[in-house]
Structure 1
Amino acid sequence: MKLSGPYLKRYKEILTLLWKYGRSDLVQQMGADEGFDLPKADAPTAADVAPEQFANDLEAMGPTYVKLGQVLAGRPDLLPQAYLTALARLQDHVKPFPYEDVERIVLAELGVRISKAFSRFDIEPIAAASLGQVHGAALRDGRAVVVKVQRPDIRQQIAEDFEVLAEIAAFMDEHTAIGKRYRFQTVLEEFRLTIQNELNYELEAHNLVALGRNLRDFPLIFVPQPVRDYCTRSVLTMDYVRGQKITSLSPLSRLDIKGAPLVEELFRAYLKQVLVDGLFHADPHPGNVFITDDGRIALLDLGMVGHTAPGMQDSLLKLLLAVSEGKGEEAADIAVRMSEKMDGLDLPEFRRQISHLVALHRDQGLEQINVGQSLLDVSRHARENGLFVPSELTLLGKTLLQLDEVGRILDPTFDPNACIRRSVTELTTQRMQKDLTQGNLFSSLLEAKDFFGSLPARLNRIMDAVTNSELHLNVRALDTKHVLDGMQKIANRITTGLILAALIIGAALLMRVRTHFEIFGYPGLAIICFLLAGLGGFYLVINIFVQDYKSRKKLDR
């Protein structure tokens, strides 16, 4: 597909960025594919460009790439630490858009002016993000709230960016080894769906309500609730959280916080979200975690959530336990069962790498294992050895890695692996209770009724067949025809060999019997037997070679 207009301009910008970071060979191919040339000078290597410049370049290219930078900031399996640190600023420090646009968007979405809907609305935003910004406000009844307003024309801009990124992803999947391994089109589609969900503030309001309901049994966790009448696709109004970001806590203020119980409850809450509820906050980086004035943890920004199906929850729980207990071979087996096998699969090497990875951490001490980092390492080794892991595993690894960072701020001595092991019994009980819903219980009762209702009649038929000697067992072996054909060929060759041997022995005995019928001066009947034996032997040898050759050709195919 040939790009034109703004798409072609954006395509050139992306290729220039790739060239700047050392992929000139790939860029020249992609540029030629669209019919334009790129810089002829030698491209710098990634090491020649400061990580801070990479963050600046992404920010300059617009909201889609700022969001991409935020995602990459939580992926230490993809980028060096220096780049992670530089990209982390995109999670908190993004340029705001003008207040005039805020007024226009609120009026269009709520149908009333800001002064009519709110008794107070701060002109300066509290925070600005890639897709929107947050303003402090108060309802007409005095209730303190925050209002998140989406950036103007953001949907159209993101749609155009994804058109161009789809072209690049398709090219890399088709022409590069890394594309075949990582399946950039699949990753891009997941990223596109994530951003689409984040752009729907009504969905985020639903997530706030669902998460608040699921975590109501955790008194130290606070989830702000939306104001339904003030929420649309582009405007989200919710409770104001009185507190401060966990990243802004001073060393002195941390002494006043009881960090250990907070972190323990935070980890338990996330394990329940992932392994029981199937809906979890997928972006708990320190900028989205607040410490409230009353000493609780508040979870903000639920635009990015993850979902886990019941079958995936079982696999993730088993994998978490295997990693947290240092069982490398078991972790490798679970990862293989839950992944899709690709070309070039090397299972022995994958098992060896995972066993070595987990054993290395185990030797350092189980309390030192970073479970999130270990899950991301499992995903990386899986891709390198021909396994395509489900996206839920990578998302869980990233989430636990961000949680580990939060935990080390609140309580540097916290052991997440011990927390996982302590929570296993509780999680298993909660999962069983969730499965014992009224619908599942009635379904199981109906199946049991059908089974026990038909069991007596089936047993009577079996007993009657045994009594009347009418019981037959049909054994169906695999490849029976091929086995019988092979045995028949062997028997035919043995029989032919015996006949030929008999002819030779008979001819030798007849040589001593003198008759009037002679051939070449020897008894004619004996000579005929010798000739038949010779022709039969020659045919048998040729037949053996031909049949063996055909069998080898079939095996090669």
Structure 2
Amino acid sequence: MNSKKYIGIYRMYIIIWMSIKFLWKIFWFQKLNRIWDQDTERKWEELLKKMATEYRQRAVYLGGLLIKFGQFLSSRGDLLPASFIRELEGLVDRVQPVPFSFSKEIIEEDWQESLEKRIASIDEDPVASASIGEVYKAYLHDGTPVAVKVQRYRVREIFQTDFKAMRVVFWMLNRFTIFGKKADLPALYKEVVAVMSNELDFTMELENGNYFRKRFEDHSNVYIPEYFTDLSTGRVLVMEWVEGTRVTDISFIKRHNLDRERLARTIFDLCVEQFVNAGMFHADPHAGNIMIKQDGTVVILDFGMVGKVKREDVEHIRAIIEGFIIDDYDRIIASLRDMDFLLEGADTEAMKKMMRRMLTMYLSEDMSNLDATVMNEILEDMQDFVKDQPIQLPADYAFLGRAASMILGVLMVVHPKMDIVAWGKPVINEWMTGNQSKFGFYKNIAKETGQPLLSLPRALVEYLEDGDKEREWQRTKQQQSLWHHYYFFYAAMTFFIGIMTLFASFLMPASWQAVPVWVFYLVAGFSFAGTLLFSLKHAKMIKNIT
């Protein structure tokens, strides 16, 4: 076990220095690459990938908060580029186990008695080892098999140190980067601390597990393990041992003749019920936390990371969907404000235009081909849209997007031929009606039916703004920007060459004496003539634009 990882100053140095290095690389890249073309884009993607890879390697080495924070960042499409997020998605929360003696000491401290008094036997090799806890298989004195989750050695101390380092990093981002203007970083830091701190308290996970067990007790194909409250503490969690395997183990599914479509539908219904209704949802539903038994029962594990959909937000989400359907983008913006998605200074008119264009683009596609791959592409496009707008997702909804993406990946493995549209339509239809009348949603639609007739003048104006003239104007602006950079670059370059040539004519070494001086003057003259030509062209272009 590497003891350096437990030294606070060393950990803070690694985290802060890595962050400074990343910021410095980004700063110089932007300074050296003023013209953004395909080659620049390729280099930018490579730089982001290298930085994300380094972060992942440091996280695996140090463990602690870096792994959890990396998983948190992988859900923040509103803040980070897609290439960086893709690299972090491979950050698996598996680390080297600590010696069993450390875990035994923690168990006995919390139980205040020897391990043997409560447990008949325990396998000292963990079945799972993560950044916060390790899981062992054990047997109670009555022969009942149990899973014992024990908090890692000095993990609280490590997290507290990492929180301090992250606070310095967030301060630098807020003070010296554009993120300070685009995002509410102090609020984001508080969210990170709150979310990660909850995972350090196993009593929270026990309460979450009991909540989900009660919530899904009527689902015959879903099982939540039972927790042993009398044996569980803030650092030790004892739960029922369940025999099974990962839900993505296709050989297991074939060997036991399980219906892959039925299995996928069970997982789909289970997750949609969490995502669209008020209450908590499992925020980390990767394949390791979803098991299947021999009879096809789906077992859900690990409720340390959960999110919450607020009851009032369910109504706001319904209003957003209604707004898209009846073309009322003011309603969408109002709901986003009520949900605290929009930051101060948001250009709502630009956002409404962007949302309208995105909706038009997707509606023009063949929706019959909508599968999980297309859904992932839509989620990526939505992330790009969110990242470019003054939107900051609350942590719960960032986790919701990450969880949805994880489930899509699991479902694609279990049943690649699933029909998401056919499965989702009845669920969404029922959900949209809300708790009121069966026809509540359709009454709203009927009420808004006459709106287009009353808004015809506005529609004509929006057509002129958003139609071919708008697209032509956008192309013109892009061309003008490119010509601006072109003229400015070559005017500066020719002027630089002229100055350097004149200096060379006065300071040339003895070995250059054979070169006539007039050659230097000729080159300098052509250079300055080029400077004048490009400057005149640039001035003429600016005059025409004005």
Aligned to 1:422: 426
Q: 1:48 to 1:72 in 2, by over 3 A?
A: closer
Cα drift, residue 121 of structure 1: 0.8
Give CA deviations for 1:138-178 in whole Å, capped at 9, x if unaligned.
21111111111001111121112112211221232233212
Q: 1:403 to 1:394 in 2, by over 3 A?
A: same
Q: 1:70 to 1:312 in 2, by over 3 A?
A: same
CA RMSD, aligned part only? 3.5
Cα drift, residue 125 of structure 1: 0.5
Cα distance in structure 2, aligned partners of 1:430 and 1:134: 41
- Whether 2:148 is the aligned partner of 1:147: answer yes
Which amino acid is the alignment partner of residue 69 of structure 1?
G
- Counterparts of 1:348-359 in structure 2 under 5 Å? 348-359=349-360
Contact 2:231 2:238 in 1 (8 A): yes
Larger radius of gyration: 1
Aligned to 1:97: 98
Give CA deviations for 1:158-210 in whole Å, capped at 9, x if unaligned.
11211221122123223321232132322221121111111111111111111
For structure 1, which segment, 328-337 or 235-244, has the greater mean C-alpha deviation from structure 2 after superposition? 328-337
Cα distance in structure 1, aligned partners of 2:96 and 2:170: 28
Q: 1:294 to 1:255 in 2, by over 3 A?
A: closer
- Counterparts of 1:29-428 in structure 2 under 5 Å? 46=47, 49=50, 52-74=53-75, 78-80=80-82, 84=86, 87-91=89-93, 93-250=94-251, 253=254, 256-319=257-320, 333=333, 334-335=335-336, 338-366=339-367, 367-368=370-371, 374=378, 377-378=381-382, 381-382=385-386, 384-427=388-431
Cα distance in structure 2, aligned partners of 1:309 and 1:86: 28
Contact 1:282 1:304 in 2 (8 A): yes
Q: 1:25 to 1:411 in 2, by over 3 A?
A: closer
Which amino acid is the alignment partner of residue 150 of structure 1?
Q
Cα distance in structure 1, aligned partners of 2:408 and 2:59: 26
Cα drift, residue 284 of structure 1: 0.7
Which amino acid is the alignment partner of residue 295 of structure 1?
G
Contact 1:375 1:394 in 2 (8 A): no
Q: 1:138 to 1:81 in 2, by over 3 A?
A: farther
3-state secondary structure, aligned to 2:92 = helix
Which amino acid is the alignment partner of residue 415 of structure 2?
D
Unaligned runs of 5+ in 1: 28-42, 434-557
Normalised TM-score (structure 1): 0.65
3-state secondary structure, aligned to 2:245 = strand
3-state secondary structure, aligned to 1:342 = coil
Which amino acid is the alignment partner of residue 90 of structure 2?
A
Say which structure, 1 or 2, has more relative contact order (CA 8 Å, 6+ apart).
2
Give CA deviations for 1:504-526 in whole Å, capped at 9, x if unaligned.
xxxxxxxxxxxxxxxxxxxxxxx
Which amino acid is the alignment partner of residue 393 of structure 1?
Y
Cα distance in structure 2, aligned partners of 1:6 and 1:355: 53
Cα drift, residue 136 of structure 1: 0.9
3-state secondary structure, aligned to 2:149 = strand
Cα distance in structure 2, aligned partners of 1:232 and 1:117: 14
* TM superposition outliers: structure 1 runs of 4+ over 6 Å: 320-323, 325-328
Q: 1:9 to 1:188 in 2, by over 3 A?
A: same
Contact 1:275 1:314 in 2 (8 A): no
3-state secondary structure, aligned to 2:208 = helix
Cα drift, residue 48 of structure 1: 7.4
Contact 1:174 1:180 in 2 (8 A): no
Q: 1:431 to 1:170 in 2, by over 3 A?
A: farther
Q: 1:207 to 1:424 in 2, by over 3 A?
A: same
Q: 1:176 to 1:20 in 2, by over 3 A?
A: closer
Give CA deviations for 1:358-409 in whole Å, capped at 9, x if unaligned.
4434444432476577467546534533234443332221121111111111
Unaligned runs of 5+ in 2: 1-5, 29-43, 438-546
Cα distance in structure 2, aligned partners of 1:227 and 1:205: 9
Aligned to 1:468: none
Aligned to 2:527: none
Q: 1:6 to 1:126 in 2, by over 3 A?
A: closer
Cα drift, residue 346 of structure 1: 1.9
Normalised TM-score (structure 2): 0.67
Cα drift, residue 232 of structure 1: 0.3
Q: 1:94 to 1:183 in 2, by over 3 A?
A: same
Cα drift, residue 52 of structure 1: 4.5
Cα drift, residue 305 of structure 1: 0.9
3-state secondary structure, aligned to 1:307 = strand
Cα distance in structure 1, aligned partners of 2:64 and 2:193: 13
Cα distance in structure 2, aligned partners of 1:83 and 1:386: 19
Aligned to 1:478: none
Give CA deviations for 1:198-252 in whole Å, capped at 9, x if unaligned.
1111111111111011112221111112111110000001111211113443497
Which amino acid is the alignment partner of residue 237 of structure 1?
V
3-state secondary structure, aligned to 1:149 = strand
Cα drift, residue 109 of structure 1: 1.1
Cα distance in structure 1, aligned partners of 2:336 and 2:255: 39
Which amino acid is the alignment partner of residue 156 of structure 2?
R
Contact 2:323 2:332 in 1 (8 A): no
Cα drift, residue 314 of structure 1: 1.6
Cα distance in structure 2, aligned partners of 1:214 and 1:24: 49
Cα distance in structure 1, aligned partners of 2:263 and 2:129: 27
3-state secondary structure, aligned to 1:212 = helix
Q: What is the identity percentage for the equivalent residue pairs of Structure 1 and Structure 2?
A: 22
Contact 1:354 1:378 in 2 (8 A): no
Which amino acid is the alignment partner of residue 305 of structure 1?
V
Cα distance in structure 1, aligned partners of 2:134 and 2:49: 34
Contact 1:281 1:304 in 2 (8 A): yes
Cα distance in structure 1, aligned partners of 2:76 and 2:259: 29
Q: 1:376 to 1:191 in 2, by over 3 A?
A: farther
Q: 1:163 to 1:234 in 2, by over 3 A?
A: same
3-state secondary structure, aligned to 1:65 = helix
For structure 1, which segment, 234-243 or 262-271, has the greater mean C-alpha deviation from structure 2 after superposition? 262-271
Cα distance in structure 2, aligned partners of 1:11 and 1:267: 42
